[in-house]
Amino acid sequence: MGQQTCMGAMLKCSFGVAPGTLMVLPANAVLTAVPDANIMDNKPMVNILPFGMCQSLSNPMVAAATAAALGVLTPMPCIPATVAPWAPGSPTVMIGGMPALNNSSKLMCMWGGVIEINAPGQTTVSIP
């Protein structure tokens, strides 16, 4: 059984160099002391903050900087590019009319990164 993810959860991108934080707008229901997340809390720069520097060659900024450095991988500032919702979420628990976000869900970045939840932001509420 997973844990409910809420505002302040620590995130990790497979191509980022630093952890990020999940931000959840206070419109969502609250099962914990802070707003809880659902699978649609995937908006770049609103819900998903940058992960420091991006190292993905699929990112056009990284590819251009690497080409300019004669093939030496040159990380560039992370700008998350998430368009799809978190998957799979918790199909039996709804928050704001959408499946709740548990700590086993993953989010894909257009530049090839896989965003995972390292710490859900709370430890008292478990959901399937």
- Reading the chain (128 residues) residue by residue, the pLDDT tens digits are 799 999 999 999 999 999 999 999 987 666 667 899 999 999 999 999 999 999 999 999 999 999 999 999 999 999 999 999 999 999 999 998 999 999 999 999 999 999 999 999 998 889 98
How far is it, in rounded angstroms, from Cα 98 to Cα 5?
14
Q: Write down the pTM of the prediction.
A: 0.93
| Cα separations in angstroms, 74 against 63, 66, 78, 118 | 8, 5, 12, 26
Write the CB contacts of 65 (distance below 8 Å, at least 6 apart in sequence): 74, 75, 76
pLDDT at 33: 77
Judge contact between 110 and 81, C-beta under 8 A.
yes
